Structure 1
Amino acid sequence: MPNSLDNQVNRPQATLSMKLNFPDLCQQHAITPRGIISIGAYDGKTLKRLNLPNTVKILVIDANQSAVERLQENFADRPNTQVVQAAIANHNDTVTLHLTSLQSSSSILPWKQYSEIYPNIKEIQQLTLSSRTLDTLLEELNLSPSDFNILILDIQGSELLALEGATQLLNTLDAIYTNVYYQELFKGGALAEQVDQFLTDYQFQRVAEETPYHPAWGEAFYVRQTVRTEDGLLPVQPLSPTSQLLQETQQELETLQLQYQETLGTLEQTQDQLQQQAENLAELESQRDQILAELEQSQTQQEQLQTQLQQTQTDLKQSQTQLQQTQLQQTQKESDQSRSELHEVREELELTQFQLDEVQVELEQYVAKFHQQKEEITKLQTELEQTKTQLTQVQPQPELTVSTKSKSDNAAIVKLLAKVLAETLED
């Protein structure tokens, strides 16, 4: 576990609760809070942790508008608390508010060594605001300084400026709880010795201080060295050595108690963190188990899908094989049938060719015969012409004889022509 002091060294101010035991300090010095002015309260949580009675009058002041809005919300349940926006200084004029990335570190003074201690905090904006002294602000608010006996200051280096503008209020205060500085963290900011010297003139003495976060700054509790009685202000009697030793011992015990409480708080915070981490780990383990279960389920589904895919591929191959076989058988059958038909066609063609050849031979025979008969007819026609010619040249014979011979020759010729014609038609 890291050293708690190392963690405290670079923690910015105004974000932590007061380390001095405010109630015990008030009790030790017989101070009863009846009115408190808190300047630079940021969110007011530190003030609320004091558990002050509702009868205590409280004036809360902050220069940052967003802080004022938070304060108004946080103190809405306390009717005796007034929240005011104002930039407190030692004059009634204007000031520049240096807003930072950590709003509680904003100041009306520019940074000096503060940026070296807290380099992660950056200035993000500058606002020009009207400034007021505490005495002027109380007058404007129609508030009496005598209504307040405790002043709390947490305004990043400008605490002495606020005190210088509260000369009337200082005469009515019993205690001042303020931040003090041992190095110049802000330009123009007063150191603790300067604050001591100023408050000495108003009969205040530093009775307790603490530097819990960084050696350059801390907290101090000032008490007026006179007490109020019916007869007026009386000086406080100095403590005897025994009482002084008892007070110092008491302070040491309180410091040890605070350290113990801080350690206990750190331990509780660590336990809470460990518990939160354990819960986060359990949740992560639950998520891991769920993811593993989903992964196993996905793997099972993937295996099932892969099995189905393999089965589908096997079925597809079988179907392809069957289809190929069927197609092959069909093709073979069709091929055989085509071969058979082709063979039959071929046989028919061969038969037809044979018949054609026979027809061709017969046709050639008929043609030869036709030519022969044609020659015979031509010969007969020639003979007929010769016969006609001879008949014309021969002297006329008796009519009966000539006629009978002519008719006999003509009949023979007609029979021959009829015979040739009949054979030709048959062919």
Structure 2
Amino acid sequence: MKSIHGFLRAITPFGLIERRRRQFQLSRLGLSPTPPIAEAVAACRYDLWPVELRNATKPWTLVDVGANRGDFTSAAARLAKLERVFAFEPQPQCCEELQHILDRIPNSVLHRAAVGATSGEIELICTANSKMASVLAPESQMLAGYAEGDFEVVNRVKVPLLRIDDVIPPGTKVGLMKIDVQGYELPALEGAKITLRSTFAILIEVNYVAHYQGSTTFDALHEALRGYGFRTFGISAPYCGPNGPLWADALFVRCA
């Protein structure tokens, strides 16, 4: 049924226009306009990457904070030459699949932990949709903007908490740091101050509406990143709910 639906969508006028738009976008990025490449581009927001990463002549280091099941890292490895990967993921149910992906990428390491401003232990609130898990409690008002059950709390577990600076060797030149920590962005950045000094770009989820209790606001995040020496490079189209935009992915690059 899904394949029939996809076929019908592809041959309708809207589907044809959307297909041509995607093909044009991929050609502008210098990529082959095939479905697997298109999926990889979407999974790692490749269209937001600066040309220094897309056309890099030498492999570069990726830091994936909140790696989940590895979709982002897998896509990035398909489209770029990666020298090393540092992945952080606290959810036990995600780590086995993530490790399988990292095993295929040389010089990759998985830290099965959450990240923050301090090291130790923290409670992780696990949700039915693993991408919504956070160390912060979800806001009930967010339920209407997502699929039913996404924010349903299914477990609470204690997980290790690490500072990024404690595990990434000082002076490591990071090409891209991707951060997806569901509202805990400021503490994550606080624990990465040293690493940020040698980081070229940051891809991070920004929220226009609070999704979690005590979560980082867009304004606070933007101000913090400016303080760390980064400027806005690009922002994706927003994911919208019934009342307007909810979140987007933003790319920040180090100021020259």
Q: Specify which of 59, 74, 80 is matched with residue 86 of structure 2.
A: 59
Of residues 123-132 and 18-27 in structure 1, the stretch that sits farther from structure 2 once superposed is 18-27
Structure 1 residue 217 corresponds to structure 2 residue 244? no
Equivalent residue for 1:103? 130
Structure 1 residue 77 corresponds to structure 2 residue 113? no
Equivalent residue for 1:120? 149
* 1:23 positional shift: 4.3
Residue aligned with 2:149, SS: coil
Distance 1:98 1:169, change over 3 A: same
Q: Is the 8 A contact 1:68 1:84 kept in 2?
A: no
Take 1:205 and 1:31, find their aligned partners in 2: how far apart are those partners?
24
Residue aligned with 2:187, SS: helix
Residue aligned with 1:146, SS: coil
Q: Specify which of 199, 205, 208 is matched with residue 231 of structure 2.
A: 205
Larger radius of gyration: 1
Aligned residues: 211
Q: Is the 8 A contact 1:20 1:209 kept in 2?
A: no
Q: RCO (CA 8 Å, sep 6+): is it higher in 1 or 2? A: 2
Equivalent residue for 1:46? 72
Structure 1 residue 188 corresponds to structure 2 residue 214? yes
* 1:17 positional shift: 2.2
Distance 1:213 1:92, change over 3 A: same
Equivalent residue for 2:183? 157
* 1:39 positional shift: 0.9
Q: Is the 8 A contact 1:31 1:174 kept in 2?
A: no
Take 2:197 and 2:204, find their aligned partners in 1: how far apart are those partners?
17
Equivalent residue for 1:89? 116
Take 1:129 and 1:44, find their aligned partners in 2: how far apart are those partners?
19
Q: Is the 8 A contact 1:57 1:147 kept in 2?
A: no
- RMSD across aligned positions (CA): 2.7
Q: Which runs of 5+ in 1 are unaligned?
A: 5-15, 227-427
Give CA deviations for 1:22-52 in whole Å, capped at 9, x if unaligned: 4455458989761111011112122222225
Q: Is the 8 A contact 1:209 1:221 kept in 2?
A: yes
Q: Is the 8 A contact 2:48 2:236 kept in 1?
A: no
Take 1:165 and 1:32, find their aligned partners in 2: how far apart are those partners?
28
Q: Is the 8 A contact 2:61 2:173 kept in 1?
A: yes
Q: Is the 8 A contact 2:170 2:194 kept in 1?
A: no
Residue aligned with 1:183, SS: coil
Residue aligned with 2:199, SS: coil
Take 1:29 and 1:49, find their aligned partners in 2: how far apart are those partners?
16
Distance 1:209 1:28, change over 3 A: same
Distance 1:23 1:209, change over 3 A: closer
Name the structure with the higher strand share.
2
Take 1:158 and 1:37, find their aligned partners in 2: how far apart are those partners?
16
Distance 1:126 1:34, change over 3 A: same
Give CA deviations for 1:35-83 in whole Å, capped at 9, x if unaligned: 1110111121222222255552111110111211111112222222112
Give CA deviations for 1:127-174 in whole Å, capped at 9, x if unaligned: 122311111233xxxx34424232101111112221111111111111
Give CA deviations for 1:328-349 in whole Å, capped at 9, x if unaligned: xxxxxxxxxxxxxxxxxxxxxx
Residue aligned with 2:126, SS: strand
Q: Is the 8 A contact 1:35 1:56 kept in 2?
A: yes
* 1:179 positional shift: 0.4
Q: What amino acid sits opposite 1:68 in the alignment?
A: C
Name the structure with the higher helix share.
1
Q: What amino acid sits opposite 2:143 in the alignment?
A: S
Q: What amino acid sits opposite 1:70 in the alignment?
A: E
Equivalent residue for 2:38? none
